[in-house]
Amino acid sequence: MLEDPEVAELAGMCGEAAGIDLRHLLTSADDEELRLTTNAQPALLFVGVALARLLARRGIRPDAGAGHSVGEYAALSAAQALSLEAAVKAVVERGRAMAEAAPPGTSSMAAVLGLDAEAVEAALIGVPDVWPANYNTPTQTVIAGTMLGLERGGERLKEAGARRVVGLNVAAAFHTPLMEPAGTALRSLLDMLQWQEPGVPVVANVTAEPYGEASTIPVVLERQLSSPVRWAACVARLRELGCDTFVELGPKRALTGMMRELAPEAAALAVATPSAAEQVPLP
């Protein structure tokens, strides 16, 4: 990623603004370091926006955007709603607030495969401390909660017919009520940032609707921490906005894989590196 001089310079500026060694996170941090929420979030954000800038340099710009969880900050920054330096600062604080709200080892998340969302919700009724956290596709919902809540919820879901319940390698139960203190802590920083109305529609995880006035963005992002990610609905809304080609910017292909179920008729590709960005066909 940092072999591009413009990206390398940008990483130095953003790391300095946020008080972190972003260059280290992008080039030499090990898996254990990157598993920490406070490290993973700024690294993911930067990679997404840097790749968007490399595409823009080739004349490839989005008509609309969305991001899954912290990726929403990347989408907002790429849409000129917030400078990249400010966005990195925001997600560093977001990571700290989330880590404080649910210390590592006390909660986690798991993917439920083979049940629709309504069946997952019904199976979890009466099970304490576990909630749907990501509505990813019609057959994949991620749940999150305390370790005991996940254990009991997993048992109930298997009884309900889930094909698999797979634990995820994450540090806490994101997008659940356990994160409400994190949202409150983050809001004071969000209110101080210089937000602009996005230059293209950015669909919010919480509402599955495009953001409106700049003043509403901190309100929605506070709610995002403790509310489910409605990804299937976000993709459906993007389709309604006329999107027929989806480009995933980041180190993995999870969202691209979901498109086979969410919008099989649409084109979808993943871009993880600058060299991959060079291979994206021009519009």
Residue 17 has pLDDT above 90, yes or no: no
Q: Pairing mode, if any, of strands 245-249 and 267-271?
A: parallel
Residue 175 annotated as catalytic: yes
> Which H/E stretch holds residue 142?
strand 140-146
Answer yes or no: pTM beyond 0.85: yes
Q: What's the rounded Cα separation, in Å, for the pair 195 and 83?
A: 8
Measured distance between the N- and C-terminal CA atoms of the chain, rounded to whole angstroms? 24
Q: What's the rounded Cα separation, in Å, for the pair 197 and 120?
A: 36
The pLDDT of 180-201, averaged and rounded, is: 97
pLDDT digits (tens, 9 = 90+) for 110-154: 999 999 999 999 999 999 999 999 999 999 999 999 999 999 999
| C-beta of residue 172 within 8 angstroms of C-beta of residue 104 | yes
Residue 68 annotated as catalytic: no
- Among the options 68, 77, 107, 175, which is catalytic? 175
- Every domain of the chain and the residues it spans: 5-102+176-278, 107-167
- Among the options 69, 77, 108, 226, which is catalytic? 69
Q: What's the rounded Cα separation, in Å, for the pair 265 and 119?
A: 26
pLDDT digits (tens, 9 = 90+) for 222-254: 999 999 999 999 999 999 999 999 999 998 899
For domain 5-102+176-278, the CATH class is alpha beta
CATH topology of domain 107-167: Alpha-Beta Plaits (3.30.70)
Q: Is 116 exposed, middle or buried (0-12, 13-18, 19+ CB in 10 A)?
A: middle
Give pLDDT, residue 171: 84
Nearest to 108 by CA among 142, 154, 146: 146
Encoded tokens for 190: 């969000």
Q: What percent of the chain has pLDDT over 70?
A: 100
